[in-house]
Structure 1
Amino acid sequence: MPQQSEHPRRCPVFSHAAARRRPLARCLLLGLLCLACVALLRPTPAPAEPIRLTVGVESIDYPPYGSFRNGDYEGFARDLLDSFAIEYGYVMIYVALPVKRLYQEFLETRTLDLKFPDSESWHRSRRKGLNVRYSEPVCTYTDGILVRPGDLGKGMGAIHTLGILAGFKPWLLEPPIDPKSIRLSENLSISGLLGKGLMGRVDGVYANVEVARHLLAAMGLEDKLVYDPDLPHASGFYRLSTIKFPLVMREFDEFMRTRRELVQSLRRKHGLDR
Structure 2
Amino acid sequence: MPNHPARRPPERNAALCRLWILTTALIAVCLLTPLCAGPVHAEPVELTVGVERIDYPPYGSFRQGDYEGYARDLLDSFAIEYGYTMVYVPLPVKRLYQEFLETGTLDLKFPDSPDWQQTRRKGLHIAYSAPACSYTDGILVRPENLGKGMGAIRTLGILAGFKPWLLNPPIDPKTIKVSENASISGLLGKGLVGRVDGVYANVEAARHLLSAMGRPDQLVLDPGLPHMTGYYRLSTIKRPLVMREFDRFLKTRSALVDSLRRKHGLDR
Pick the TM interval, shorter chain.
Answer: 0.7 to 0.9
Structure 1 residue aligned with 2:125, among 124, 131, 136?
A: 131
Provide the residue aligned with 2:205 in structure 1.
211
Deviation at 1:184, TM superposition (A): 0.3
Deviation at 1:218, TM superposition (A): 1.2
Pick the structure with greater CA Rg: 1
Amino acid corresponding to residue 121 of structure 2 in structure 1: R
Amino acid corresponding to residue 216 of structure 1 in structure 2: L
- Deviating above 4 A after TM superposition, structure 1's stretches of 4 or more consecutive aligned residues are none
How far, CA to CA, are the matches of 2:101 and 2:221 in structure 1?
Answer: 32
Provide the residue aligned with 2:149 in structure 1.
155
Amino acid corresponding to residue 68 of structure 1 in structure 2: F
Structure 1 position 248 matched with structure 2 position 208: no
In structure 2, stretches of 5+ residues that fail to align are: 1-40
RMSD between superposed Cα atoms in Å: 0.7
Cα deviation digits, residues 101-143 of structure 1 (max 9, x gap): 0000000000000000000000000000000000000000010
Structure 2 residue aligned with 1:72, among 66, 69, 92?
A: 66
Q: Work out the percentage of aligned pairs sharing the same amino acid.
A: 79
Output aligned runs, 1:88-103, within 5 Å: 88-103=82-97
How far, CA to CA, are the matches of 2:248 and 2:64 in structure 1?
Answer: 33
How far, CA to CA, are the matches of 1:176 and 1:263 in structure 2?
Answer: 33
Task: Kindly indicate whether the alpha-carbon contact (under 8 Å) linking 1:58 and 1:68 is maintained by their aligned counterparts in 2.
Answer: no
Provide the residue aligned with 1:43 in structure 2.
none
Amino acid corresponding to residue 88 of structure 1 in structure 2: Y
Amino acid corresponding to residue 134 of structure 1 in structure 2: Y
How far, CA to CA, are the matches of 1:241 and 1:76 in structure 2?
Answer: 16
Deviation at 1:70, TM superposition (A): 1.7
How far, CA to CA, are the matches of 1:167 and 1:101 in structure 2?
Answer: 9
Structure 1 residue aligned with 2:171, among 165, 173, 177?
A: 177
Task: Kindly indicate whether the alpha-carbon contact (under 8 Å) linking 1:56 and 1:94 is maintained by their aligned counterparts in 2.
Answer: yes
Normalised to the residue count of structure 2, the TM-score between the two structures is: 0.84
In structure 1, stretches of 5+ residues that fail to align are: 1-46
How far, CA to CA, are the matches of 1:240 and 1:131 in structure 2?
Answer: 14
Structure 2 residue aligned with 1:233, among 216, 227, 237?
A: 227
